[in-house]
Amino acid sequence: MPQTIAVLDFGSQYTQVIARRIRECEVYSKIYHYTTSAEELKRDGVIGIILSGGPSSVFAKNAPIPDEKLFQLGVPVLGICYGIQLMGRLLGGAVAKSTHREYGHGTLSITKPGRLFAKLPRKLRVWNSHGDKLTEMPPGFSAIGTTDNSPYAVIEDRKRDFYGIQFHPEVFHTERGVDVIRNFLLNVCGAKQDWTTKDYINHSVAEIRKIVGKSRVILGLSGGVDSSVAAALIHKAIGKQLTCVFVDNGLLRKGEREAVEKLYGDHFHIDLRVVDASKLFLRRLKGVDEPEQKRKIIGRTFVAVFEKSLKSIGHADFLAQGTLYPDVIESVAIAGNPAALIKSHHNVGGLPERMKLKLLEPLRELFKDEVRAVGAALGLPKEVVWRQPFPGPGLGVRVLGEITKDKLEVLREADAILVEEMKKTGLYWKVWQSFCVFLPVKSVGVVGDERNYSWVIAVRVVESIDAMTADWARLPYDLLQHISNRITNEVREVSRVVLDISSKPPATIEWE
Ligand code: XMP
Query: Is 81 a known active-site residue?
Result: yes
Q: Are residues 159 and 287 in the same domain?
A: no
Output the DSSP codes for 26-57: T-EEEEEETT--HHHHHHTTEEEEEE---SS-
pLDDT score for 5: 98
The CB density around residue 301, as the number of other CB atoms within 10 Å, is: 18
Last residue of a domain, one of 352, 385, 418: 385
Segments forming the whole domain that contains residue 178: 4-188
The CA 359 to ligand 1 mean position distance, Å, reads 25
User: Residue 510 falls within a domain, yes or no?
Assistant: no
User: Residue 505 falls within a domain, yes or no?
Assistant: no
Q: What is the dihedral of CA 223, 228, 234, 240, to 10 degrees?
A: 40
pLDDT score for 251: 98
Last residue of a domain, one of 171, 188, 205: 188
Evaluate: CB of 504 within 6 angstroms of ligand 1: yes
pLDDT score for 334: 35
Options 26, 156, 170, 256, the catalytic residue: 170
CATH number at residue 14: 3.40.50.880
What atom in ligand 1 is closest to the CA of residue 390? 22
Evaluate: CB of 222 within 6 angstroms of ligand 1: no
The CA 187 to ligand 1 mean position distance, Å, reads 44
Of 395, 509, 512, the C-alpha closest to 463 is: 509
- Cα–Cα distance between 483 and 423 in angstroms, integer? 12
Q: Are residues 356 and 433 in the same domain?
A: no
Of 198, 204, 214, the C-alpha closest to 361 is: 204
Options 25, 102, 168, 189, the catalytic residue: 168
Angle subtended by helix axes 368-377 and 197-212, to nearest 10: 90
The CA 95 to ligand 1 mean position distance, Å, reads 46
Pocket residue to mutate for ligand 1, from 251, 510, 511, 512, most atoms within 8 A of Cβ: 510
pLDDT score for 341: 32
- Cα–Cα distance between 67 and 43 in angstroms, integer? 15
The CA 464 to ligand 1 mean position distance, Å, reads 13
Strands (E), 270-418: 271-276, 318-320, 358-360
**Single-letter amino acid, residue 188:** V
User: Residue 508 falls within a domain, yes or no?
Assistant: no
Q: Are residues 171 and 309 in the same domain?
A: no
Evaluate: CB of 433 within 6 angstroms of ligand 1: yes
User: Residue 429 falls within a domain, yes or no?
Assistant: yes
**Phi, psi (deg, nearest 5) at residue 61:** -60, -45
Pocket residue to mutate for ligand 1, from 464, 509, 511, 512, most atoms within 8 A of Cβ: 509
What atom in ligand 1 is closest to the CA of residue 388? 24
Evaluate: CB of 469 within 6 angstroms of ligand 1: no
Q: What is the pLDDT along the chain (512 residues), one digit of tens a residue?
A: 789 999 999 998 889 999 999 999 999 999 999 999 999 999 999 999 999 999 888 998 899 999 999 999 999 999 999 999 999 999 999 999 877 777 889 999 999 999 999 999 999 999 998 888 899 999 999 999 999 889 999 999 999 999 999 999 999 999 999 999 999 999 999 999 999 999 999 999 999 999 999 999 999 999 899 999 999 999 999 999 999 999 999 999 999 999 999 999 888 999 999 999 999 999 999 999 999 999 999 999 999 999 999 889 988 999 999 989 877 665 543 333 333 333 333 333 455 566 788 999 999 989 999 999 999 999 999 999 999 999 999 999 999 999 999 999 999 999 999 999 999 999 999 999 999 999 999 999 988 888 889 999 999 999 998 899 999 999 999 999 999 999 999 999 999 999 999 999 999 999 99
Evaluate: CB of 509 within 6 angstroms of ligand 1: yes
- Cα–Cα distance between 410 and 404 in angstroms, integer? 10
HSE, CB side, 13 Å, CA atoms: give it for residue 126.
32
HSE, CB side, 13 Å, CA atoms: give it for residue 348.
20
From atom 9 of ligand 1, which residue's Cα is the shortest distance away? 391
Of 360, 345, 107, 331, the C-alpha closest to 215 is: 360
Q: Are residues 402 and 380 in the same domain?
A: no
Q: Are residues 146 and 243 in the same domain?
A: no
pLDDT score for 337: 32
pLDDT score for 353: 67
Evaluate: CB of 510 within 6 angstroms of ligand 1: yes
Query: Is 168 a known active-site residue?
Result: yes
Evaluate: CB of 296 within 6 angstroms of ligand 1: no
Q: Are residues 377 and 427 in the same domain?
A: no
Q: Are residues 239 and 366 in the same domain?
A: yes
Q: Are residues 226 and 340 in the same domain?
A: yes
User: Residue 425 falls within a domain, yes or no?
Assistant: yes
Evaluate: CB of 391 within 6 angstroms of ligand 1: yes
pLDDT score for 104: 86
**Phi, psi (deg, nearest 5) at residue 325:** -60, -45
- Cα–Cα distance between 361 and 324 in angstroms, integer? 8
CATH number at residue 464: 3.30.300.10
Q: Are residues 27 and 174 in the same domain?
A: yes
The CA 510 to ligand 1 mean position distance, Å, reads 6
- Cα–Cα distance between 386 and 388 in angstroms, integer? 6
CATH number at residue 219: 3.40.50.620
- Cα–Cα distance between 338 and 62 in angstroms, integer? 7
User: Residue 494 falls within a domain, yes or no?
Assistant: yes
> For the chain, what is the domain count?
3
What atom in ligand 1 is closest to the CA of residue 510? 2
Q: Are residues 27 and 169 in the same domain?
A: yes
Evaluate: CB of 508 within 6 angstroms of ligand 1: yes
Q: Are residues 319 and 409 in the same domain?
A: no
The CA 391 to ligand 1 mean position distance, Å, reads 5
Buried b (16+ CB within 10 A) or exposed e, 275-292: bebbeebbebbeebeebe
User: Residue 511 falls within a domain, yes or no?
Assistant: no
What contacts 353, CB < 8 A, 6 or more positions away? 347
User: Residue 506 falls within a domain, yes or no?
Assistant: no
Of 422, 382, 482, 437, the C-alpha closest to 253 is: 437
Query: Is 170 a known active-site residue?
Result: yes
pLDDT score for 350: 52
The CA 251 to ligand 1 mean position distance, Å, reads 15
Evaluate: CB of 392 within 6 angstroms of ligand 1: yes
Q: Are residues 272 and 341 in the same domain?
A: yes
Q: pTM for the full model?
A: 0.86
Last residue of a domain, one of 385, 412, 446: 385
Output the DSSP codes for 426-474: TGGGTSSEEEEEEEEEEEEEEETTEEEEEEEEEEEEEE-SSSSSBEE--
